[in-house]
Structure 1
């Protein structure tokens, strides 16, 4: 959620000794008394400052007090946030705080035919509308080359008539050039061979049998390694294959039939048997795969071995595979049998070897591999019946209807994330919001350390190492600065060969070549831990344990998450909890295993590790008891996010109280609610969300995040300050006796 210091809005040292240039007046005031600054004491300056502080404090007090007494809203930050509009006061906050905080929002917002809808979904949709506005503008002679390319891509995607009229021909030509598939009448079929043809299929985008990526080495995060992973499933989770008669498996069968029939549109063949063969073959692979929850065990999925050793598990000629796929991408590297890779799931490769190589499975493996090659084209293609992208997506979210704007904006963002971010950040990001994020983060980090030092279950040695890790965290905020420079942005996308004449299907070919070359070039190169890792326009924030880095994208730096004019209860209740959440990931069940340099070693004492694991089990047990719309929460799968949610609220509240201690004149209530109460409401309202039944079923099987209502309820039942703020009776639903607490 790389480059060099100064290239990005980046702060690697989080002490405030530098004075933090550009702090807003409000935040400088609110942080007074908490920030360690060198002061030049001149009487005249002190007097002026005192007068200003008293004036600002009084202004804030009277504004809050007037709001409390008036029927109309007069505090801009509070009014614009609509925090009071969504509260349903008919609900007892000590019984269901989610419905109390979100009740009126839920009443005013219909799910309709969407898979899910919430305040963050609304923001994402709004962001894509803005991308559409930028990308739809006529190409100007002043546009940098990279911006022109992004507009070419978007325009080609919006040409629905061309895509629909040419899709079937394109897919058939694509499969024909890749050795054909006689089962659906695409010739010539010269016979598919796994050793000869799988590497080409993978280069073209297939994920049959497995996938691989280039990532920092867990044990030495300065080095890049190849990680080979289980894969090759159409559905997004192995668990969805367990029940042959279940809706997930039946949806898979129907989708395969529907897609094959659409591709072979001139034939009236019934593809039921072929679909069953492919789905059954995938089920064999799924039964050998680790579940999503099991893959969270980072020590179990780190298995170094040579390519020769990997060949003893899965009989592929791995040396030829990697040499071929790298050279095809234009990257020269001499792989040998002694080359080391990391294998996530050795047992998976050992157990699926028979399905890939035994003669009795030969026809099944060919049809399975051809299906995944066909499937790879749907990311860039539109089927006549709707779109190939959507028909597969409908298998998971059957109520979803992607409009062309959203689909094409997403696609262009995926291909050229830094180019599409440029006009977006010009409109929405300024120094004031960057300063607000940095100042809030400073307060959050300080609060986390203060809370850390009070943990009696951590010994002093472990506490000191934890403080070192917090002090070493790097921040990437909003976007990399170089995207505003024409020459550097153009250079970044120089290898993406696209012009006005490139059609939609050829764009897919160009993109694969460009992305593979970028990714493979990083192999064996030193890791640049400050390289911008994602799309700045996404509504997202995240933490990387291997880089000890957290990222706050430009797309999330807007209401309902943050605004520079918000008072402390709103700022810290909303974005403060987001920062605290990401910081807590550095110390969740995975992050705790990585030291300040991003290396996975045991850097805690045995006693502290034992105490940590005992406390994390409390969260597993707690969340495993929750269910929503009849679907149970997986406490193991969601453990890391649940730890982060809880830690985020605790830490942000602590930081908020630190800030409020620096304000002498303040109102006690706004609109009948105390400021402490509104802090928790601000947190809860981030997660006002509705889900379709099928979407929630899928999310509870695959998503490491708990659904919105559970994120609110699960965090706050563990929070004593929440219970105090709302005066919740002991053993009420929101104030149980037994509470889980870590950070």
Structure 2
């Protein structure tokens, strides 16, 4: 009962302090004097909510010794893959979102179902319209957008004049000071659409949208998954330190460092390919040699938020943690001398991050456990799982985005090498069409995964070649598994494919979130997973030989795609 009262008080204060919500019964809400920009800025400053305007802080593209503001697309109710595709309003996924919003509004505001449905319809309609200006942009893909479109920083006043949106007032209110630094605006199409949408919507609809989004973002859900995700969001360093503590005194296993070196040697061999000009080969190999492997380290209390939490008062603690987190993040704008990355890697994560500025790969401790890694595994399994993930991160340092000047990189790839790369990329783009609709992200991912498999397999063969002359039969005997009639190289490909399998409960979660109703393939019989397994393996000649795939079959096409 006390918790429910605290929640109601929190929600009531949230509405009162942020312009109110016309949908609240008896609110007597007045549109006169309502300033949506001021409300959006307060919600961003106090709760980190990117509503209608997206604001990020990251490296200044022109000078990585400082950070810069990026005005990009905001967060959305619709999942990104649905928003970017301009989901049809008759689609079952759209109806599910509308139904969820209706149920939430009924629960929060104690209003009739038809009233809640009317408000939910307006909220989703407004966002659906905004999605029309987002295209394929992601919330935080500023660096790629700058690379492809060569944006330059401008003063906030200039951006305000161009889009008739007072970005100057919005940013100043968030930072509680005037910001004189020029900023990047990396989603011009979206802000043109925002301007058009606001001209056709009344203040009441905008206010309902903003407050629905705020209430939904801060809603408490009584599930273990929600609790974990909110703790990771608000206390990432504390959780990371707890996760790493049992193994923080250990160094990276020697076997893992050898794996990384083998992968680096293998990729270096790929960088000697004839399609790279000699000068580009030298630049690439020097860059590869500088690429070091690191992992999250924690000093006691480093990164922790200085707040006094109260027992049995979730909502007060939430308010304190969100405000402390936002204060810390906003202070990043004023960091100098090679600021830290905007997305620090925590020990419990499973992503490997390529840091172009620091020139290293970050490996989380979570990957140093089954199924990705186990010292008892044969090397075929290790190279196929953790090895391919490391190799993919290495290959990202040499994708198309890196033919040109990038953060801290003054050496350019030559134009002829870049032209050849793009020609080879076209081969992968055509292969994507056999699995999914035309998709630049899928093409880039297929290139990276194919390179990772090639590099990891060659590294594994190099490892075998080192052992065989030394007659290390004890280790070689671990490369096959008893009771399975597969060679060690066949096990390599099986392990690569198996790491893409999902438990049944995760497949059900995808269906519940709308993936089952959104078909990526024109033939509606393929998926991302099939692309990342079959699409990658079909380009590998050794796979076709190992499993006796007929020449010209789907898994052994005449024309195979290759970059690395």
Normalised to the residue count of structure 2, the TM-score between the two structures is 0.86
- How far, CA to CA, are the matches of 2:367 and 2:61 in structure 1? 29
Match 2:166 to one of 317, 327, 333: 317
Is the 2:132–2:193 contact (alpha carbons within 8 Å) kept by the matching residues of 1? no
The residue number in structure 1 matching 2:544 is 723
Residue in structure 1 matched with residue 452 of structure 2 by the alignment: 648
Counterparts of 1:130-145 in structure 2, within 5 Å, are none
**Matched residues in 2 for 1:534 and 1:164: separation?**
35
Please state whether the residue corresponding to 1:321 is helix, strand or coil: helix
User: 2:366 — aligned with what?
Assistant: 555
Q: Give 1:608-687 correspondences, 5 Å limit.
A: 608-626=417-435, 632=436, 634-664=438-468, 665=471, 666-667=476-477, 670-671=481-482, 672-687=485-500
Contact 2:454 2:540 in 1 (8 A): yes
Q: Which residue of 2 aligns with 1:277?
A: 122
Q: Number of aligned pairs? A: 534
Matched residue SS, 1:233:
coil
Q: Which among 266, 288, 312 is matched to residue 470 of structure 1?
A: 288
Distance of 1:377 and 1:409 partners within structure 2: 15
Q: Give 1:605 shift.
A: 0.9
Matches within 5 A, 1:108-119: none
8 Å CA contact retained: 2:102, 2:113: no
For 2:374, what is the secondary structure of its paired residue? coil
**Cα distance change, pair 546–197 in 1 and its aligned pair in 2 (3 A):** same
Q: For residues 407 and 347 of structure 1, what CA distance do their matches in structure 2 show?
A: 34
Q: Using the TM superposition, give the Cα deviation of residue 657 of structure 1 relative to its aligned residue in structure 2, in angstroms.
A: 1.1
Q: 2-side partners of 1:268 and 1:173: how far apart?
A: 24
CA spacing shift, 1:457–1:288, aligned 2, 3 Å: same
Aligned residue number for residue 529 of structure 2: 708
**Matching of residue 250 in structure 1 with residue 70 in structure 2:** no
Flag the structure with more relative contact order, 1 or 2, with Cα contacts below 8 A and sequence separation at least 6.
1
Matched position secondary structure for 2:148: coil
Give the direction of change, closer, same or farther, for the CA distance of 1:716–1:430 in structure 2 (3 Å limit): farther
CA contact (8 A) 2:84 2:135 kept: no
Match of 1:133 in 2: none
Counterpart secondary structure, 1:480: coil
Q: Report the 3-state secondary structure (helix = DSSP H, G, I; strand = E; otherwise coil) of the residue aligned with 1:572.
A: helix
Aligned to 2:321: 511
Residue 378 of structure 2 contacts residue 480 of structure 2 at CA under 8 Å; is this kept in 1?
Answer: no
2:524 matched residue in structure 1: none
Equivalent residue number for residue 197 of structure 1: 39
Asked whether the equivalents of residues 179 and 190 of structure 1 are also in contact (C-alpha less than 8 Å), the reply is: no
Report the alpha carbon displacement of residue 686 of structure 1 after superposing the two structures with TM.
1.1
* Residue 528 of structure 1, CA deviation: 3.7
Partner Cα separation in structure 1 for residue 111 and residue 421 of structure 2: 62
User: Is 1:411–2:230 an aligned residue pair?
Assistant: yes
**RMSD of aligned Cα (Å):** 2.9
Question: Closer, same or farther in 2 for the Cα pair 1:269/1:448, shift >3 Å?
Answer: same
Aligned to 1:342: 184
- Of 289, 292, 308, 1:498 maps to 308
- Flag the 1:699–1:163 CA change in 2: closer, same or farther, 3 A: farther
Q: Could you tell me which residue of structure 1 aligns to residue 297 of structure 2?
A: 480
Hey, what does 1:738 align to over in structure 2? 559
- Correspondent of 2:394 among 583, 605, 611: 583
- Over 3 Å counting, the alpha-carbon distance change for 1:719 and 1:265 in structure 2 is same
Task: Label 1:348 to 1:266 Cα distance change in 2 as closer, same or farther (>3 A).
Answer: closer
Matching of residue 216 in structure 1 with residue 59 in structure 2? yes
Consecutive unaligned residues of structure 1, counting only runs of 5 or more, are 1-160, 328-332, 388-403, 627-631
1:222 shift after superposition: 3.0
Please state whether the residue corresponding to 2:271 is helix, strand or coil.
Answer: helix
C-alpha contact (below 8 Å) 2:22/2:208 kept by paired residues:
no
Give distance in 1, aligned partners of 2:157 and 2:555: 56
- Name the counterpart of 2:379: 568
8 Å CA contact 2:22–2:207 kept in 1: the answer is: no
The alignment partner of 1:443 has SS state of helix
Deviation of the 1:614 alpha carbon: 0.9
The answer to whether residue 257 in structure 2 is matched with residue 443 in structure 1 is no
* Range 308-317 or range 421-430, more displaced: 421-430
Q: Which has the larger radius of gyration?
A: 1
1:112-131 paired onto structure 2 within 5 Å: none
Q: Secondary structure at the match of 1:227?
A: strand
The 1:547/1:346 distance shift into structure 2, 3 A limit, reads farther
* Offset of residue 282 of structure 1: 1.4
Q: Conserved in 2, the CA contact under 8 Å of 1:590 and 1:640?
A: no
Take 2:200 and 2:533, find their aligned partners in 1: how far apart are those partners? 53
Question: For the residues of structure 1 that align with 2:261 and 2:215, how far apart are their CA atoms?
Answer: 49
Q: Deviations over 1:380-416 (max 9, x none)?
A: x23xxxx6xxxxxxxxxxxxxxxx3332222212222
User: 2: CA distance between counterparts of 1:360 and 1:558?
Assistant: 52
C-alpha distance after superposition, 1:267-291 (max 9, x if no partner): 5662222222222221221112222
1:590-646 deviation digits (Å, cap 9, x = unpaired): 344455x545x78111111111111112112112211xxxxx355312222222211
Whole-angstrom CA distance in 1 between matches of 2:518 and 2:254 = 39
Q: Does 1:363 align with 2:204?
A: yes
SS in 2 for 1:724: helix
Assess if the C-alpha contact under 8 Å between 1:589 and 1:639 holds in 2: no
Going from structure 1 to structure 2, the CA distance change for 1:513 and 1:741 (only over 3 Å counts) comes to same
The answer as to whether partners of 1:576 and 1:652 remain within 8 angstroms in 2 is yes
Work out the CA distance in 2 between the residues paired with 1:529 and 1:271: 44
Equivalent-residue separation in structure 1 for 2:213 and 2:205 (angstroms)? 12
> What corresponds to 1:603 in structure 2?
412
Aligned: 1:185 with 2:185:
no
Q: Identify if the C-alpha distance between structure 1 residues 581 and 633 changes in structure 2 by more than 3 Å, giving closer, same or farther.
A: farther
Which string of whole-angstrom CA distances, capped at 9 and with x for unpartnered residues, describes residues 513-561 of structure 1? 2221221222142324579813221222232445443221112211110
